[in-house]
Amino acid sequence: MRAITYSRFGPAADVLSLTDMPTPSPAAGEVLVRLAISGVNPSDAKARAGARPGVTKPAFDQIIPNSDGAGVIEAVGDGVDSGRIGQRVWIWNGQWQRAFGTAAEYIALPAAQAVPLPDGISFDLGATLGIPGLTAAHTVFGGGDIAGQTLLISGGAGAVGHNAVQLAKSGGATVIATCSPGAAQRARDAGADHVLDYADPDLAAQITEATGGAGIDRAVEVEFGVNAALLAEVMVPNGTIATYGSFLDMTPQLPFGAYLFKALKIDIALIYILPKPARNVAIARLHAALADGSLTPAIHTTYPLGECAQAHDAVMTPGRAGAVLLEIDQG
């Protein structure tokens, strides 16, 4: 099979190469998926670049990058229902703690990680449901019903944030989104009730005004370190901050007194290790929103498999409007 591989950290163009590899066989409990689309995420690019703290070399001698994807089950291992052969699926954790991910014509992985793709949903959309989809669904609904609540979604025009805005509206919440002025219309089109400039020096006052002084019940936060102080101002007592990133400040300082006397909860979401019950809830929420049309994940651009390096660069470029995908053309 054709696959993109790397064996050392570095810039995408320097370390990624198109390689011929043996097609894997599914082990017991596994399925073999013929991939149509691979989803590229910032975490894939950071892992390839060696940007994870304390990691000095790849964990495996040869790695196929990318964790998300969609395709068709072509074979099953022992213990897996043969009726799944021919099933359209989307994939999560394709390359999490594993050597071989989805930037290839095939992937063999545990059967539970190949989720049946709902009827009428394209492979392109299916390949966005792993990291960006599950992260959005869990950070929005991880605390239960949100009907009648007010949610603050930072980065509301990003891949996760854009999904989160749509899901929060589908759940009956009032949504305040922050983003750059140039992306404001994108967040509004996703359903945000209020869209604010994330860099405005009066942002806290604007958020409070937008809530009529009531405050934020739940925050979905992409840059926790940068926004920790702001969140202390705008959250309601006993509110929850569901955060999935802090790239610009990985060692945040908290105004602990303000957090303490509001009894704020910090829910750090790492979708790779989400427990099964919570993952199942997130999957159900995604499928329901896709089915009723309240969620349409955005796709920024699609590259052919051989241009994986360009895709890795594109996913790290500020201002992209949605997911970056690789099309696996198998002739």
pLDDT digit string (tens) for 282-299?
A: 999 999 999 999 999 999
pLDDT at 331: 56
What is the band of 103 on the pLDDT scale with cuts at 50, 70, 90? Answer: very high
What is the band of 262 on the pLDDT scale with cuts at 50, 70, 90? Answer: very high
* % pLDDT > 90, the chain: 97
pLDDT digit string (tens) for 166-198?
A: 999 999 999 999 999 999 999 999 999 999 999
What is the band of 219 on the pLDDT scale with cuts at 50, 70, 90? Answer: very high
The residues of the chain that CATH labels 3.90.180.10 are 2-128+297-327, 132-272
What is the band of 329 on the pLDDT scale with cuts at 50, 70, 90? Answer: confident
Mean pLDDT of 73-87: 98
Residues 6+ apart with CB under 8 A from 255: 228, 229, 232
- CATH number for 132-272 (one of 3.90.180.10, 3.10.20.340, 3.30.1660.40, 3.40.50.300): it is 3.90.180.10
| Of 183, 267, 190, residue with least CA distance to 221 | 267
Q: Does domain 2-128+297-327 have CATH number 3.90.180.10?
A: yes
What is the band of 52 on the pLDDT scale with cuts at 50, 70, 90? Answer: confident
Mean pLDDT of 271-277: 97
Q: CA–CA separation, 200 vs 133, rounded Å?
A: 28
Classify residue 314 by burial, with Cβ atoms within 10 Å: 0-12, 13-18, 19+. middle
Place of tokens 């239960």: 144
Residues 6+ apart with CB under 8 A from 157: 177, 179, 180, 183, 184, 186, 187, 190, 321
Mean pLDDT of 126-155: 98
Q: CA–CA separation, 270 vs 282, rounded Å?
A: 13
pLDDT at 53: 81
| Of 57, 60, 64, residue with least CA distance to 5 | 64
CB atoms near residue 318 (< 10 Å): 6
What is the band of 54 on the pLDDT scale with cuts at 50, 70, 90? Answer: confident
